[in-house]
Amino acid sequence: MPNEIIDSVLAGDKESFRKLVSLYKDGAYNLALSVLKNDFYAKDAVQQAFVNVWLNLNRYRKDAPFKYWFHKILINECYQILRKNPDLHKNFVTESVEETEMIASEETTEFSTDLTHLRYYIDVALEKLSPEKSLALKLFYIESYSVKEINSITGWSVSDTKVKLHRGRKNMKDFLVNKLNLNPEKLYL
């Protein structure tokens, strides 16, 4: 389906580009947010990524899925924003510990393993991870990219990708168990 839309865009149909944006904007925002940890900058990265897609769509080769090509562009935009705004690197470290402790004390006493609660706790944990670990976990588990595909998208080596995934999983488990006092058996970790 994306290739049909892309062909329409390349033929001059601007409405088809709106369809392409609509198809990918939510996932792109979530991916950008996992790296940047900031709503404003995540939206900015997504917008700039779509501008780059518009300007370079004629360079897209259909030998790989569009989503893969688009994610490479998006992640590049996220890293450019991180380079221009070094204070964003500190956000994942300096966020309020009191907020985390409040979540742990109020909400985990009646912990529920339904899907909504699990997603909430995973989102909280991903927010506390470093941008690279969060990105690695999202690309691998949510976007279902292989280690080699993550390597190609991010420019990391295969071994570096594996290390980021391993440490990301470990940090996430530690955060969920130690900071939020969640039972790892209920989380299937």
Mean pLDDT throughout 134-149?
92
pLDDT at 105: 42
pLDDT at 114: 55
Q: How far is CA 40 from CA 35, 37, 85, 102, 167, in A?
A: 12, 9, 12, 25, 28
* % of the chain surpassing 70 pLDDT: 80
Residue 146 has pLDDT above 90, yes or no: yes
Mean pLDDT throughout 21-28?
95
pLDDT at 184: 65
**Alpha carbon distance 147, 52 (integer Å):** 25
Report pLDDT digits (tens) over 31-45: 999 899 899 999 999
Element (DSSP H or E) covering residue 76: helix 66-84
Of the chain, the end-to-end C-alpha distance in Å amounts to 36
pTM given for the model: 0.76
Residue 93 has pLDDT above 50, yes or no: no
